[in-house]
Amino acid sequence: MSEAINRHEFTIFFDVKDGNPNGDPDMGNMPRMDPETGHGLVSDVCLKRKVRNYVEITRGHLEGHQIYVGEGAVLNEQHRKAYRALRDEDVDQLKELKPKDKAEAALLTRWMCDNFYDVRTFGAVMATKVNCGQVRGPVQFTFARSIDPIFPQETTITRQAVTQEGAEKDREMGRKHIIPYALYRMDGYVSGHLAEQTAFKSEDLELLWEALVNMFEHDRSASRGQMALRKLVIFQHSSILGNAPAHRLFERITVEPVGGSARSYGEYTISVDDSELPEGVTIIEK
């Protein structure tokens, strides 16, 4: 049975070896990094994409688990599904659609939340020409940041083929950017208050944890062949509004390198301080 959820915070640690976890298209697809400190970055959007893909692969055939921001999706057509379900008239030929009143606007937004997992989870701005309103999602990710500075390497590759006829050479060359090794940390939030508004329930939360643990298993590519979720730490509150400030809980998680320049997960020690926890807060590790 579906149950309302309380507030949660969570932290994930994942690593990459000889790969590129999130290339920057404005920088020739180089791994994203903080230019001031040299630490690697992975955007929240990148990680949400992997969660969406996992849910679509494993639950996409089930009612209420469609993915709104899917590969090749036309968002206005996604919105049109709500109008098609709630109105008797033919809406397929109309380029612009707006709610008739506040009541219909609420029904359209609710339909989108009920049918699209990522809308009720992450929220969405759906105020386009086919208007379904706006949803503020209960689940939010930060950018992931590497524990240590990263040192991207540019490698040259060759291809035993050419792009077009008449080329002088029988092969072409290209470049790839890789990180020899990096361990990343991302912090996230689950609002019990906003979960009530989008009908994000306990089974949705369990699916989120499942997706985070397994999201790299179905995302292999030449540049992401050796990526893994190493640890998930959850701070579970006993109330909807929470029992302690999030930053105080995140500060309980520390990471220390065992030696010098780390080249594997085993060369880090991750510690979670569970002593004198605030009343109403429970730590879950996966």
Q: What is the pLDDT of residues 224-269, one digit of tens each?
A: 889 999 999 999 999 999 999 999 999 999 999 987 778 999 999 9
Distance CA 222, CA 95 (A): 41
- Both tokens assigned to 258: 């065992």
Distances (CA, A) of 147 to 39, 88, 144, 247, 281: 7, 55, 10, 17, 26
The reported pLDDT for the residue numbered 168 is: 66
167, 70 contact by CB (below 8 A):
no
pLDDT bin (cut points 50, 70, 90) of residue 88 is confident
Cα–Cα dist 195/120, whole Å: 8
3-class SS of residue 135: strand
Global pTM reads: 0.93
10-56 pLDDT tens trace: 999 999 999 999 999 999 899 999 999 999 999 999 999 999 999 99
What crossing angle do the helices spanning 202-214 and 44-59 adopt, rounded to 10°? 110
Residues 6+ apart with CB under 8 A from 223: 19, 20, 23, 176, 178
d(CA 109, CA 134): 7
